[in-house]
Amino acid sequence: MNRIASNMPFSLGNYDKQLLFIIVLIAGTGMVMLYSASSAIGREMGDSAIYLKGHFVRILIGFGLMALTMHIDYRLYKKIALPLLIIALIVLTAGLIHHRFWGTGATARWIYVGGISIQTSEFMKFSLITYIAYFLEKKKDKMVYFSDGLLPMVIVLSISSLLILKQPDFSTTAILVTVVFIMLFVGNARMSHLFAIGSVGSLLMLLSLFGSSYQIARIKSYFEGGDVSGAGYQMQQSLMSLGGGGFLGIGLGGSISKNLFLPTPHTDFILAIIGEEMGFLGVLIISTMFLMFFFRSLKVAKSSKDSFGLYLAVGLASSIFLYSAVNAAVVSGLLPVTGLPIPLVSYGGSNILFTLGSVGVILNISSSTKKNKKRYKRSSD
């Protein structure tokens, strides 16, 4: 039996158990806090656990996707990197066209398939990160040159960012651009090139804000204050929730703000409810778990047996961590309201699938690394 298990292409012992444990812990904590944050709204709808049930189903599907990507050799993504990117670009374009002629909502961020909404930018994130990792490995000796090394990736990033900006979704675009720049930095691109491109890109993105009235309203509310509706009201209630929790919080389930004072407390501002009920200590624990996930993923990346695995793990881990960091900054008033969720904790669907699917890829990289080390040890013996 042991001999059969040792000959299996993937065994549980090959995966990074610490990384897996951290993710399970984040997801479990998120479910507890989501029920606490959504129970008041649920009771208004006749079922205090209605959002918990939906979140639980999404988490189950997400872990199923993670189990699948854990067992797919990550090197396969090199072969499909370009087709994945092309499909993602087509999906984004189709979403914009559909919204332009037949859409009824305010944005073109989602497409609907059989009554299920899918956020198109989540698919683009995975596709673009995969393609950049593939291109960095392919051109790793030419990254110091602009035209032959960096320029093609800048063009791809610009097209992808423009399509997401047109949805409009400034915050997701900013996260995606930051992740790609992190990957390029790890890929030994010249700092002078990155600084020049980053300066021009930042200016263009800031100019794009003037084309969206609701984004301008959010920024004005952030800097001017005094807004008692919309994003300004959310921010005020969020800060009141965090302040009311103190260091240890008022106790699980005891939040006052979730009783319809803080709009949709189970989504983007769930961290405010965590701060109110579990205090600064609870927020610190959640933040520490994401930090542990990030550093553990970087360790997996550093140990990867090839540069593609390194770049892919860095890109996926950076995206997940940045979402959690930006969400915390918004809830605490350090940034304007963005609408970004905290992965595996906020109620949602597409981001959960992206997060857990990406974790599965990182775990596969860790598994391949450990198996390679075991083969080397056996050959040395």
What pLDDT shows up at residue 1?
A: 34
What pLDDT shows up at residue 355?
A: 96
Q: What is the mean pLDDT of residues 240-260?
A: 87
Q: Which pLDDT band holds residue 14 (cuts at 50, 70, 90)?
A: confident
Higher pLDDT: 199 or 34? It is 34
What count of other Cβ atoms lies within 10 Å of the Cβ of residue 335?
Answer: 16
Q: Which pLDDT band holds residue 3 (cuts at 50, 70, 90)?
A: very low
Lowest mean pLDDT among 10-19, 25-34, 351-360: 10-19
Q: What is the mean pLDDT of residues 102-116?
A: 67
Q: What 3-state DSSP class applies to 110?
A: strand
pLDDT exceeds cutoff 80 at 2: no
Secondary structure element (H or E) that encloses residue 111, with its range: strand 110-113
Please classify residue 76 by burial: count the beta carbons closer than 10 Å to its beta carbon, then call 0-12 exposed, 13-18 middle and 19+ buried: exposed
Lowest mean pLDDT among 56-65, 182-191, 215-224, 330-339: 215-224
What pLDDT shows up at residue 203?
A: 79
Q: What is the mean pLDDT of residues 177-200?
A: 89
pLDDT exceeds cutoff 80 at 109: no
How far separated are the first and last CA of the chain, in Å rounded? 24
The encoded tokens of residue 308 equal: 């593609």
What pLDDT shows up at residue 237?
A: 84
- Give residue-wise pLDDT tens across range 313-361: 999 999 999 999 999 999 988 888 888 899 999 998 889 999 999 999 9
Orientation angle between helical segments 170-186 and 307-331, nearest 10 degrees:
140
pTM attached to this predicted model: 0.89
- Asked if omega into 168 is within 30° of 0 (cis), the reply is yes
What pLDDT shows up at residue 209?
A: 67
pLDDT exceeds cutoff 80 at 267: yes
pLDDT exceeds cutoff 80 at 229: no
Instruction: Report CA dihedral (216, 218, 221, 223) to the nearest 10 degrees.
Output: -70
What pLDDT shows up at residue 192?
A: 87
pLDDT exceeds cutoff 50 at 61: yes
Residue 130 contacts residue 77 (beta carbons within 8 Å): yes
Taking phi first (over 0 means left), then psi (-120 to 50 degrees means alpha), and beta for anything else, what does residue 185 get? alpha
The encoded tokens of residue 352 equal: 């959960």
Q: Compute the distance between CA of residue 258 and CA of residue 237 in angstroms, rounded to an integer.
A: 10
What pLDDT shows up at residue 165?
A: 86
Beta carbons within 8 Å of 45's beta carbon, 6+ residues apart = none
Q: Which pLDDT band holds residue 58 (cuts at 50, 70, 90)?
A: very high
pLDDT exceeds cutoff 70 at 74: yes
Lowest mean pLDDT among 7-16, 128-137, 178-187, 336-345: 7-16
Domain spans of the chain, in order of start: 14-371
What pLDDT shows up at residue 225?
A: 59
User: What percent of the chain is predicted at pLDDT more than 70?
Assistant: 85
Lowest mean pLDDT among 102-116, 129-143, 180-194, 214-228: 214-228
Please classify residue 269 by burial: count the beta carbons closer than 10 Å to its beta carbon, then call 0-12 exposed, 13-18 middle and 19+ buried: buried
Q: Compute the distance between CA of residue 69 and CA of residue 77 in angstroms, rounded to an integer.
A: 11
